[in-house]
Structure 1
Amino acid sequence: MQNVKGTYDYFGREQAIRQKVRSTLTELFEVYDFEAMDTTLLNELELLTSKYAGGDEILREMYQLTDQRGRQLGLRYDLTIPFAKVIALNPGIELPYKRYEIGKVFRDGPVKKGRLREFLQCDADMVGFPGPQGEAELMMLAAEAFRRLEIPIVVKWNNRRFLGEILEAAGVPPEQHLSVMLSLDKLAKIGSSGVLAELYEKGLTPAAIGTLKELLDMETPSFEELADKYRLAGQPGALEVLALQQLIAEIGLAGTCVFDPYLSRGLSFYTGTVYEIFDASGVYSSSLGGGGRYDAIIGKLVGRDDIEYPTVGISFGMESIMALLGERPAREETSGVLVIPIGEYLPQALTAAAALRAAGIRTAVDTGKRKLKKTLASASAKGIRYVILIGENEAAADKLRLKDMVQQSEELVTVEEAARRIAG
């Protein structure tokens, strides 16, 4: 018996860390006024494979299945398309609208560290928000989330519309823009020589390749340099970059959010700003999350190509975050209180535990079958500070014996006093 490759069961310390990450993100989503949503795992194949969805690479990795009536279905490969479906199917939703969702998605792709076949995504999306407010809010959210997780990050960002304007100036035909963008996006992985090799294979003109080589040879070019070099001042994409860049500076995120003109991300539906989150320390090279603006999907799903729903989102990669956090040494953390019945006093132990739980204190009840010395040693190893003992003397006095494992002290108290001391 074994798990399917690329799928895992989580328990113990690892699950505790996952829950901490999840609760941190959930708390922030709600503080930022996002509403919880739960979309379907199963979707019509036609929706997931539509030309407005994820692109050829994602579709090759999609799990497809057929139900008993022969209907073609698929498991969701992200949370964005199902969200767009919800908005398209529910025209009564008042805009602007903000939602978050934490749920599993599935991709039949290569398995490596931080990349699985069944994995958790944590998304936040805003519909009805034209730029740059939506992008700025999501960047602020990302910066705060990783600050709370004690992970130093850099958010690399670009604008696909602006990158398209550069490609147009370079002589790249519009129908090849997306393909060329995806090659440029690989610069950090395969280097300029690898990108150029791909560009030659795409059949671009020598003049276009020469211009793109000049672009690749520029060392971290700024937006201003590129706008001046390609004479793009006043173009729609250039204006979007300028507006977001100014807002980022004004809200104090210029040190965290860095403009990267080669970034485009793999999904085909992005229409404007795109961004990706990386570990600033360089310990972990893969992306920790990303997102961008996708104004066209929802209108196309409702059959209205002439209507845009200004939408922007961000996704946090739980598996990548866990792969990074897993490199850290374990921390000793307290885990509530342990109630130990001595002899035949399990009813009293359960009653005391119920009172402590009602006070919001995490409480475990021991079986009372092991030797007391071993039970106390186990509690200490787990980081449990307080232990409650209930035996004949305690039951007769209608009290509990509260033992502080750190201070190595104990006292006879009522259950109410115990709750105040433990919570205090």
Structure 2
Amino acid sequence: NLWRYERPQRGRLREHWQLNVDIFGVEGLEADVEIIQIADAILKTYGAKPDSYKIRVNSLKSAEAVYKDLRLDQVQHRAVAKLLDKRARMSETEFNSSLKEAVGQKTADDLLEYWSKEQPPENIAALLNLLEKAGVSSIVFDPEIARGMDYYTDIVFEVFDESAENNRAMFGGGRYDGLVAEFGVEPVPTVGFGMGDVTLLNFLESNGLLPKLSTETDTAVILIGDVFEDAQTVISELRRQGLNVAVDPTNRKLDAKIKSAAKSGVKYAIFIGEQELKTGKYRLKNLETGQEQELETAELAQALESSRV
């Protein structure tokens, strides 16, 4: 359970839950392959099709070698990383102008040429090959992925929703071999990712993958007047018959109680007031069709049980 101090927006709330998946102690590419397979498998478990998301990978070591050749200083390096992180939200003209301002025209042109190359570096090519053999078909090389250069040390990846209404990065991770040593212990090779529940929910919504859960409540009992005590005999008998009964004991208006029951997905409502208690017959209303009938307690139970079929 995590909190962040920033303005809430789509995909980023003040409070969220996060799944962290990490592999410690494996230096080789095997750990990167395993971690990305897990990320891919999670989405497939929710029913996601391979063309509904993209896993974009890059090698920070390769990128940093290019930046070194171009003689970027630390300030320029950070500026480029920030621009890449925002590029999807900028127009091409705005991005190119900001890049030129940060590093100069010639260096900007060289960087744009590097990012346009489709040929991945050797370690990324090997990673792609292994993942394709493992059945991960949504993987692509993207030299613009540059997350967390402060602590990621080589391969990084981000998982993007491909739907038009939510075309954004959902989660990501990568290799951070030096981070553990920052806490005063021996350095341990590590790779992992963090997935938040909010962006996952947005992905499931935009791709029509949220299951439609129906309520298990058979009926809502709506009390009319001060009859809570006298209504207990009827309510208890219905529950003894194995029915799931919800009771609205509030003092809200009748219309508000009916709307609340319908909104919760309950199909039937039973109305109990002084008149119903005197006659021993209770109104059972189908909240979907509006149809009503007056029934005794035993008949109520039978009608509600038959509606389950």
State TM-score, norm by structure 2.
0.67
Partner amino acid, structure 2, of 1:194: S
Taking the aligned partners of 1:345 and 1:394, their CA distance within structure 2 comes to: 11
1:119 aligns with 2:15: yes
- Whether the aligned pair in 2 keeps the contact of 1:348 and 1:390 (CA below 8 Å) is no
Structure-2 residue corresponding to 1:162 = 62
Change over 3 Å in CA distance of 1:324–1:172 after alignment to 2: farther
Change over 3 Å in CA distance of 1:399–1:409 after alignment to 2: closer
Q: Aligned to 1:289, what secondary structure does the other structure show?
A: strand
Percent identical across equivalent pairs? 20
Correspondence 1:240-389 to 2 at 5 A? 241-254=124-137, 256-266=138-148, 268-284=150-166, 286-304=168-186, 307-316=187-196, 318=198, 335=215, 336=217, 337-341=219-223, 343=227, 345-348=230-233, 351=236, 361=244, 363-367=245-249, 375-376=257-258, 379-380=261-262, 383-389=265-271
Deviation at residue 385 of structure 1 after TM alignment: 0.6
Change over 3 Å in CA distance of 1:124–1:165 after alignment to 2: same
Deviation at residue 117 of structure 1 after TM alignment: 7.3
Bigger relative contact order (CA 8 A; separation at least 6): 2
- Whether the aligned pair in 2 keeps the contact of 1:152 and 1:281 (CA below 8 Å) is yes
Taking the aligned partners of 1:140 and 1:386, their CA distance within structure 2 comes to: 40
Deviation at residue 106 of structure 1 after TM alignment: 1.9
Change over 3 Å in CA distance of 1:131–1:364 after alignment to 2: same
Deviation at residue 197 of structure 1 after TM alignment: 2.5
May I ask how many residue pairs the two structures share in their alignment? 287
Change over 3 Å in CA distance of 1:105–1:395 after alignment to 2: same
Structure-2 residue corresponding to 1:62 = none
Deviation at residue 297 of structure 1 after TM alignment: 1.6
Taking the aligned partners of 1:281 and 1:253, their CA distance within structure 2 comes to: 19
Please list every run of 5 or more consecutive structure 2 residues that lacks an aligned counterpart in the other structure: none
Structure-2 residue corresponding to 1:104 = 2
Correspondence 1:5-404 to 2 at 5 A? 103-108=1-6, 111=7, 113-114=9-10, 118-128=14-24, 130-145=31-46, 147=48, 152-168=52-68, 170-172=69-71, 179=78, 180-188=80-88, 189=90, 190-200=94-104, 211-216=110-115, 218=116, 221-222=117-118, 225-227=119-121, 238-239=122-123, 241-254=124-137, 256-266=138-148, 268-284=150-166, 286-304=168-186, 307-316=187-196, 318=198, 335=215, 336=217, 337-341=219-223, 343=227, 345-348=230-233, 351=236, 361=244, 363-367=245-249, 375-376=257-258, 379-380=261-262, 383-389=265-271, 403-404=285-286
- Whether the aligned pair in 2 keeps the contact of 1:155 and 1:275 (CA below 8 Å) is yes
CA RMSD of aligned residues (A): 4.7
CA offsets per residue over residues 282-334 of structure 1, 9 Å max, x none?
33455333333323222331432xx31423012226279559959x9xx9975
Deviation at residue 173 of structure 1 after TM alignment: 6.3
Change over 3 Å in CA distance of 1:269–1:368 after alignment to 2: closer
CA offsets per residue over residues 171-197 of structure 1, 9 Å max, x none?
446967953444444443342342232
- Whether the aligned pair in 1 keeps the contact of 2:128 and 2:140 (CA below 8 Å) is no
Please list every run of 5 or more consecutive structure 1 residues that lacks an aligned counterpart in the other structure: 1-102, 228-237
Q: Aligned to 1:132, what secondary structure does the other structure show?
A: helix
Taking the aligned partners of 1:245 and 1:114, their CA distance within structure 2 comes to: 31
State TM-score, norm by structure 1.
0.52
Q: Aligned to 1:127, what secondary structure does the other structure show?
A: strand
Structure-2 residue corresponding to 1:79 = none
Partner amino acid, structure 1, of 2:96: S
